[in-house]
Amino acid sequence: MGNSTVKAKTNAEFVILGGEPLGERFIWWNFVSSRKERIEQAKNDWQTGKIILPPNDNKEFVPLPQTGSKPASSDVPPPEPLS
Mean of pLDDT values over 61-73: 70
Closest by alpha carbon to 61, among 75, 51, 74, 71? 51
The span from the CA of 53 to the CA of 51, in Å, is 6
- pLDDT, residue 78, reads 64
> What pTM does this model have?
0.56
Q: Higher-confidence residue: 47 or 70?
A: 47
The span from the CA of 37 to the CA of 43, in Å, is 10
- pLDDT, residue 58, reads 86
Q: pLDDT (tens digit, 9 = 90+) per residue, 15-52?
A: 888 889 888 999 999 999 999 999 999 999 999 989 98
